[in-house]
Amino acid sequence: MKRIGKLHVLTDTVLQSRFSHTELAKQAISGGADTIQFRQKNGSTKELIEIATEIKRICSEMGAAFIVNDRIDVAIASEADGIHLGQEDFPLPLARKLLGKNRIIGGSAGTPEEIEICLRGGVDYIGFGPVYATGSKDDAGPATGIDFLKRIAQTTAVPVIAIGGIDQTNAARVMSAGAHGIAVISCVCCRDNPANAARELNDIINASS
């Protein structure tokens, strides 16, 4: 059965360089992350597959889901548990055809129109945002704010994972708004102790349910 995680950590080696993708994955999962997402725009396909395969191994061992961002070729080759596709990525219906029913497909949305596209494309969850302003993604749209998130969470037929500027200071508010979970980058990856940072978020998520 597909279970959509509540604490998604996108491992990032651009905003910080102290930790590798695999080190971040280990720390994040040990702190309570149940989903690791791998997003990297540079490097050869072979290199991306090698990193993804290593993260997948760690996720399997530690019991977390492994999701690849954008690159369905890398997801297939690394036997990822799923893929996360933005509006400018691979087409959702074809992704479902290639991955089958049992793998997770998430879609990014920041507007009701984009949510509609995701739902028609058969996503298992929606990454909605940016809820707050973020410096972690160059091409992120305008911040949606909490009220918009609340409306979306109430009316969307699949789990809504909030993303964008979420950290330990506002995660409780985001969960109270009805998000199924949160996806974070810098507030885990850029901290001195990513495991502790994930643990703080995990505690907030657990307290909110």
Q: How far is CA 39 from CA 13, 36, 167, in A?
A: 9, 10, 19
Q: How far is the CB of 43 from a copy of itself (least distance, A)?
A: 9
Q: Least CB distance from residue 169 to a copy of itself, whole Å?
A: 32
CB of 12 to a copy of itself, least distance (A): 19
96 included as an active-site residue: no
Strand segments, DSSP code E, in 70-189 are 82-85, 104-109, 125-128, 160-163, 181-184
Buried b (16+ CB within 10 A) or exposed e, 47-56: ebbebbebbb
Please say which residue, 90 or 148, places its beta carbon nearer to a copy of itself: 90
Classify residue 3 by its DSSP letter. -
Cis ω before 112 (30° cut-off from 0)? no
Report how far Cα 184 is from the mean position of its chain's Cα atoms. 7
Catalytic residue among 78, 108, 136, 186: 108
Q: Which is nearer to a copy of itself, 91 or 145 (CB)?
A: 91
Task: Locate 173 and state its tokens.
Answer: 């508010």
Residues making contact with a copy of itself (CB under 8 A): 44-47, 49, 70-73, 76-77, 86-91, 94, 98
Q: In angstroms, what is the minimal distance from the CB of 29 to a copy of itself?
A: 27
- The residue (of 95 and 205) whose beta carbon lies closer to a copy of itself is 95
Nearer to a copy of itself (CB atom), residue 43 or residue 145: 43
Other beta carbons within 10 Å of 175: 23
| Smallest gap from residue 46 Cβ to a copy of itself (A) | 5
Q: Active-site residue 26, yes or no? A: no
Q: Residues 57, 96, 137, 151: which is the catalytic one?
A: 137
Judge residue 67's burial from the number of C-beta atoms within 10 Å of its C-beta, 0-12 exposed, 13-18 middle, 19 or more buried: buried
Q: Which is nearer to a copy of itself, 57 or 173 (CB)?
A: 57
108 belongs to the catalytic site? yes
Which runs of consecutive H residues, i.e. helices, occur in 1-140?
21-30, 45-62, 72-77, 92-99, 112-120
Among 39, 56, 71, 199, the active-site one is 39
- Residues belonging to the active site: 39, 108, 137
